[in-house]
């Protein structure tokens, strides 16, 4: 299994034309800025493109579920403190859909 390569934004700018070789060789690159991850690239070809897109969609769905879990955890904490302000289901989903990363 190939290792994941870390590449800073600066290195990416300097080696921009070499990204193709890096993806072909390593397959996966995490892009960093000031030592912190900001992006992730995955090498694809005609035979793997659809599979990678489907994987990406599943990741987006998981992010949405985690956002909803965080909202529910927060509501439970508020309820436990008797500071809860209850909203109806329609308002809940409006808030959930506004959560960053919700769109498909």
Q: What is the DSSP string of the chain?
A: -PPPEEEEHHHHHHTGGGHHHHHHHHSEEEEEETTEEEEEEE---TTTHHHHHHHHHHHHHHHHHHHHHHHHHHHHHHHHTT------HHHHHHHHHHSTT---
Domain ranges of the chain: 5-42, 49-98
Is residue 69 within 8 A of residue 35, CB to CB? The reply is no
Q: Which pLDDT tens digit goes with each residue over 52-81?
A: 999 999 999 999 999 888 888 887 777 777
Is the pLDDT at 104 greater than 50, yes or no?
no
pTM: 0.57
Residue range 1-5: mean pLDDT, rounded: 74
**Percent of the chain topping pLDDT 90:** 28
Cα–Cα dist 85/95, whole Å: 14
């Amino acid at each position: 299994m190939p290792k994941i390569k870390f590449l800073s934004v600066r290195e990416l700018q300097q080696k921009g034309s070499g990204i193709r070789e890096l993806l072909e060789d390593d397959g996966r690159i995490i892009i960093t800025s000031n030592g912190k991850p900001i992006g992730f690239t995955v090498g694809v070809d005609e035979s793997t493109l659809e599979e990678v897109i489907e994987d990406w969609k599943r990741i987006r769905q998981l992010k949405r579920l985690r956002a909803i879990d965080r909202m529910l955890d927060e509501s439970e904490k508020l309820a436990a403190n008797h500071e809860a302000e209850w909203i109806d289901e329609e308002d809940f989903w409006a808030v959930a859909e506004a959560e960053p990363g919700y769109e498909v």
